Structure 1
Amino acid sequence: MSSEGSSSGSGRLMTGVAWAVLLLGLWLWGRQITEGPEGSSGPKTGDVAAVGRPLGVSLPPAHDPLAGERPERVQIPSVGINAPVVPRGLDAHGAVDPPPFEAPDEVGWFGGGARPGAAGPALLVGHVDTNTRKAVFYGLSAVRPGEKVRVTGSDGSVSEFTIDDVQVFQRSHFNAKKVYGERVHGRAELRLITCGGSFDRTTRAYSANVVVSAYLTGVPRG
């Protein structure tokens, strides 16, 4: 989300602060991310606002986990997202280093976690905007359960995921386990994360994070 009337410098600061909160949550979650905690499905209250599943939307069964490949591209046809994926590591503070502001059309994959298609939650993060324009995940909050996410691996293979959950986590009640933990034990999952909520001109930060969850449902051929 962009803020009207912000200067070129303040827009960048605004986005950076929002990312700092997001990454702090990942840092606190730390080593448990690859181990997979117990699923966190169930009613969400207080700190989470769920978009939910529209009535009449049936979701396909999960596909067995794959070996998983290093991701190179992610596509969400329903909202026109088609972007390169780059691996990101940890910065000097022990948090995942997001894509640089100079590359707002790139999606970052946390290389220290699961690979898309493998068992566990694979994390993809992207900016919502920059100081001058919309960024790669600007339209992420518009996706809905039942829609597809396709990830192309380094070997050319495509893994297809089905979105089953869209939530908005308030920064003031950020729960790393709910955001980064696996939802169903042993399932191949995907988590796509960006900034969301309202923009606070005092703190120069967004109030929340949009978190889209999906799970592996197919491996298209050709």
Structure 2
Amino acid sequence: MTVSTAPRAAGHGRLLTGVAWALLLLGLWLWGKDIAAGPGGLSAPTTGDVAAVGRPLGVPLPPARPPLAPAEPERLEIPSLGITAPVVPRGLDGAGAIDPPPYGTADTVGWYRDGTKPGSDGAALLVGHVDTETEPAVFYGLSSARPGERVEVTRADGSVAEFTIDDVQVFARHEFDPRKAYGQRREGRAELRLITCGGTFDQEAGAYTANVVVSAYLTGAGDAPRRG
């Protein structure tokens, strides 16, 4: 399916994206509570309530690397998609949902700071907007990611955690399962979830019909290049 690109009234894009985030992030919050005591069409694989790209034949995936010591993320890069974005920590808002990055920073990725740090044991959650009122945002092309592609997270300790994508799924909003979407797939492994809105735009509900979830696992580590 493809997200509708029909003209919208001024201000409508902000409303629809906000509604979609509210649904997604409420799911993250509920999942977290349960475990511990998100120009052109957006192309997304959609077949039934949950659709997965899976691993194409002939695409070998490397072995997992042992988790790294915890360190906060600073920058995200997905070379195959041309994504390079700063990462900022985000907490919960007054309603108990995770705050997405502000609309004025559509090129920024948010990290759920009360969860796992990217590269350490567990599943770290990174969220980004798919669009703004007038243009695509940082995760607009996320649904085109494919297994075997690389994701790099530069961390505050000067290291770069290198992840390999192993799964791309589109979860329908009305049957969303946060545990399945965000839970750690294999015990003792460092994993990553990249999350945005997807599916089609539901005019009546004022929200997207699904969420794109890209899963990756740690396969390497290195030092961040010096800048400046």
TM over 0.5: yes
How many pairs were matched up? Answer: 213
Q: 2: distance between equivalents of 1:6 and 1:215?
A: 38
Contact 2:4 2:200 in 1 (8 A): no
Aligned counterpart, 2:79:
77
SS of residue matched to 1:4: coil
Q: Is the 2:73–2:154 Cα contact (8 Å) retained in structure 1? A: yes
Q: Which of 199, 202, 217 is the equivalent residue of 1:197? A: 199
- The 2-side partners of 1:188 and 1:77 are apart by 20
Distance 2:134 2:197 in 1: 16
Structure 2 partner of 1:187: 189
Task: Give the whole-Å Cα distance in 2 for the aligned partners of 1:205 and 1:52.
Answer: 26
Give 1:124's aligned amino acid: L
- Alignment map for 1:8-157 (pairs within 5 Å): 8-33=10-35, 47-157=49-159
Equivalent position of 1:6 in the other structure: 8
Please say if residues 34 and 120 of structure 1, whose CA atoms lie closer than 8 Å, have aligned partners that are also in contact: no
Report the CA distance shift for 1:169/1:175 in structure 2 as closer, same or farther (over 3 A).
same
Q: TM-score, normalised by structure 1?
A: 0.92
For 2:40, the equivalent position in structure 1 comes to none
Identity, % of aligned positions: 67
Normalised to the residue count of structure 2, the TM-score between the two structures is 0.90
User: Which of 210-219 and 179-188 deviates more?
Assistant: 179-188
User: Is the Cα–Cα contact under 8 Å of residues 75 and 84 in structure 2 kept in the other structure?
Assistant: yes
In structure 2, C-alpha distance between the alignment counterparts of 1:147 and 1:16, rounded to whole Å = 29
In the alignment, the residues of structure 2 paired with residue 171 and residue 123 of structure 1 have an alpha-carbon distance, to the nearest angstrom, of: 18
Asked if 1 retains the 8 angstrom alpha-carbon contact of 2:14 and 2:132, the reply is yes
Contact 1:200 1:206 (C-alpha < 8 Å) held by counterparts: yes
CA RMSD of aligned residues (A): 1.5
Deviation sequence 1:93-134 (CA, Å, 0-9, x none): 111111011110100000000000000000000000001100
Shift of 1:3: 3.5
Change (3 A) 1:189 1:34: farther
Equivalent pair of 1:163/1:214 in contact (CA under 8 Å):
yes
List runs of 5+ in structure 2 lacking aligned partners. 38-46
Equivalent-residue separation in structure 2 for 1:95 and 1:143 (angstroms): 27
Distance 1:12 1:173 in 2: 24
Structure 1, unaligned stretches of length 5 or more? 36-44
**Shift of residue 28 of structure 1?**
1.2
Describe how 1:205-216 pairs up with structure 2 within 5 A: 205-216=207-218
Q: Is the 8 A contact 2:109 2:138 kept in 1?
A: yes
CA offset digits 1:135-167 (Å, max 9, x no partner): 000011111000000000012210100000000
How many angstroms apart in 2 are the aligned matches of 1:33 and 1:18? Answer: 23
SS of corresponding position for 1:18: helix
AA aligned opposite 1:220: G
Q: 1:33 to 1:84 in 2, by over 3 A?
A: farther
Q: In structure 2, what is the Cα distance between the partners aligned to 1:152 and 1:34?
A: 26
